[in-house]
Amino acid sequence: MKPQTEKLAFLFLLVILLFDSWSFVDSDLASDRIALEALRKAVGGRSLLWNLSNSPCSWVGVFCERDRVVGLRLPAMGLSGQLPIALGNLTQLQTLSLRFNALSGPIPADIGSLASLRNLYLQENFFSGEISGFLFNLQNLVRLDLAHNNFSGEISPSFNNLTRLRTLYLEENQLNGSIPDLNFPSLDQFNVSYNKLIGAVPQRLSGRPATAFEGNSLCGKPLIPCNGTSNGNDKLSGGAIAGIAIGCVIGFLLILMILIFLCKRKRTKQGVAKDTQERKQSETEIARENVVADRGTASTGIASAAAVAKSESKRGGGTKNLVFFGNTSRVFDLEDLLRASAEVLGKGTFGTTYKATLEVGVAVAVKRLKDVTVTEKEFRGKIESVGKINHENLVPLKAYYYNKDEKLLVYDYMPMGSLSALLHGNSAAGRTPLNWETRSGIALGAARGITHLHSQGPTISHGNIKSSNILLTNSFEARVSDFGLANLAGPTPTPNRIDGYRAPEVTDARKISQKADVYSFGVLLLELLTGRAPTHSHLNDEGVDLPRWVQSVVKDEWTSEVFDLELLRYQNVEEDMVQLLQLAINCTAQYPDNRPSMEEVRNQIEQLCSHGGDTHQDIEDEKSSQQTYSIDSGAPPP
């Protein structure tokens, strides 16, 4: 009986140990839960819709291993306020990402107790105060990004305690003093630009690019030498000074003579031009008064344009009516546009677009072009070529009008508006989210339309692809608009890149290649996937465009963070989303030769849409809405 008694005692002891182990695990996860709930209560955020009845490991942005929280990734969640003293309880945390929020105040001291922390991303917030010494206790820290905040004080030499550090970003803060002699054996990413730093760049950092130090009062390699002064031999001689003075006097006299000549010439022309201008203004004002009398309201945009057009045609200055294309039904003319009620739909690169509701009840979209520099013959030739292009995913050009003062284009009116308005125009709680099927369908329709454009010839391109030029039917089918207009406008030797769509090699808006169209379409795909508008995103305020931001996130962190939160509600689409993301990254390659053709892009999207599973999941399903899908199976950066 003794051996049997010993066996029973051993089994009893084993059961007790197992229960203690489970209790210990539950206790640890419970501690993590308390810390996360404290964070949620302190900083809120539009997306922290955590179901508190579920395990923290199922919450959005929370990643676990062996029932412990090891990752907390909440970028661009609209978090605000100050971080609570609670995160230190996440004792197994390896990655903390709170970037692109509106958090303020100091970093809580208990973060210094996160011994396992390897990645700390706090950039693009409003954190302030000095960089506290407790950060230097994080011996395992590999990535530290505190850029674009309001940190002040000096850069501490104690940074050298972080011997494993490979990334240190401190740019765009209020740091002052000199840069200490930092010695990081493995450092491969470093930036302290745009602070208030002074003095010499330390020798160990002299091999870094100059952009890592710009915006400060620093000197030394790679910047200007610290002892750079001019010697006495640089002073100008007396003869040189006299020569410069004489040259200035002669130049002034020449300029004065030219001005006198131009003034006399202007007076001669004024008398001739005055009568012509007064007559033109009189006729235009009469036409505008007729509009007010007929309609009772002044549609000052399209009505004024049509009035000027009518006035010009009466004097023989242009075509007397609209020029229609193909089999377009001619149910209206220039007089009908003159009497139509109008509202502004938007102001774009090439002019203002109006919705004109005719008296017969038909609505059309009328674009009033601006800055057209080509001759009448060139204009008619180019526009008639555009009018001949017909495809189900292109907005057809119905008619046009031309004279020297007004150029009008008439299109079908799309009541659902643009993709830009659908993605960014309404963020109210009652808004219907765009599911994966709708977004991928829009991408496919737009790709088909642009591919058809490119098939018209190797030199044919769109030139202005962006989400506001992707219009939608009532069934959310994409129609590409504004094609063929880029080569009508004047040259832009220094193109504005704020819109975020233009390819880096483009220097003239009139000369955009098909590969530049591919780049713009790639940005459009990223906009669909991320939900971010490159035209007004805070990402590009400092020159960081949407493609570079996406590539940095994919490289440094988990791929899932780039996707619009609405897409994370739907199951079984992770692989398709990643495939479309990779295609968008390929389209936005820096060099044109590395980008695919639009035909290849269309084919890949068609394949992706053809094998996609059922993505219609109830968006009100609370369980689905609270679940985050780990798309990238790789670990955080080492």
pLDDT band at 544 (very low <50, low <70, confident <90, very high): low
For residues 634 and 189, the model is more confident at 189
Domains defined for the chain, CATH in brackets: 26-219 (3.80.10.10), 325-611 (1.10.510.10)
Please answer whether residues 471 and 507 qualify as being in contact, where contact means their C-beta atoms are separated by less than 8 angstroms: no
**416: burial class by Cβ within 10 Å (0-12, 13-18, 19+)?**
middle
pTM of the model: 0.52
CA distance linking residue 593 with residue 518, whole number of Å: 11
Q: What is the mean pLDDT of residues 281-288?
A: 41
For residue 634, what are the CA distances in angstroms to 115, 556, 628, 631, 638? 22, 11, 16, 9, 11
SS3 call for 130: strand
CA distance linking residue 420 with residue 428, whole number of Å: 15
CA distance linking residue 633 with residue 574, whole number of Å: 11
pLDDT at residue 278 greater than cutoff 50: no
Q: How many CA atoms lie within 13 A of 363 on its CB side?
A: 10
pLDDT at residue 438 greater than cutoff 80: yes
How do residues 329-381 score in pLDDT, each as one tens digit? 666 777 777 777 778 888 777 788 888 888 777 888 888 888 787 888 888 88
Alpha carbon 613 to its chain centroid, in Å, reads: 29
**Residues facing residue 354 across a β-bridge:** 344, 366
Please answer whether residues 172 and 193 qualify as being in contact, where contact means their C-beta atoms are separated by less than 8 angstroms: yes
Q: Which amino acid is at 598?
A: M
Q: What is the DSSP string of 472-501?
A: E-TT--EEE-STT-GGGBPP-SS---TTS-
SS3 call for 400: strand
Q: Which H/E stretch holds residue 217? A: strand 217-219
pLDDT band at 222 (very low <50, low <70, confident <90, very high): very high
36 Cβ contact partners less than 8 Å away, ≥ 6 residues apart? 50, 56, 59, 62, 69, 72, 90
pLDDT at residue 221 greater than cutoff 70: yes
Please answer whether residues 126 and 150 qualify as being in contact, where contact means their C-beta atoms are separated by less than 8 angstroms: yes
Q: Which of 98, 152, 95, 87 is nearest to 125 (CA)?
A: 98
CA distance linking residue 465 with residue 593, whole number of Å: 19
> Is 515 marked as binding a ligand?
no
291 Cβ contact partners less than 8 Å away, ≥ 6 residues apart? 298, 299, 303, 304, 307, 338, 339
Q: What is the mean pLDDT of residues 484-492?
A: 69
223: DSSP letter: S
For residues 538 and 550, the model is more confident at 550
Q: What is the mean pLDDT of residues 432-458?
A: 90
Highest average pLDDT, of 75-79, 271-275, 352-356, comes from 352-356
Q: Which of 94, 108, 101 is nearest to 558 (CA)?
A: 94
CA distance linking residue 178 with residue 180, whole number of Å: 6
pLDDT band at 316 (very low <50, low <70, confident <90, very high): very low
CA distance linking residue 570 with residue 166, whole number of Å: 36
CA distance linking residue 526 with residue 531, whole number of Å: 8
Predicted local confidence at residue 354, as pLDDT: 87
**Residues facing residue 344 across a β-bridge:** 354
418: DSSP letter: B
pLDDT at residue 8 greater than cutoff 80: no
Q: What is the mean pLDDT of the chain?
A: 77
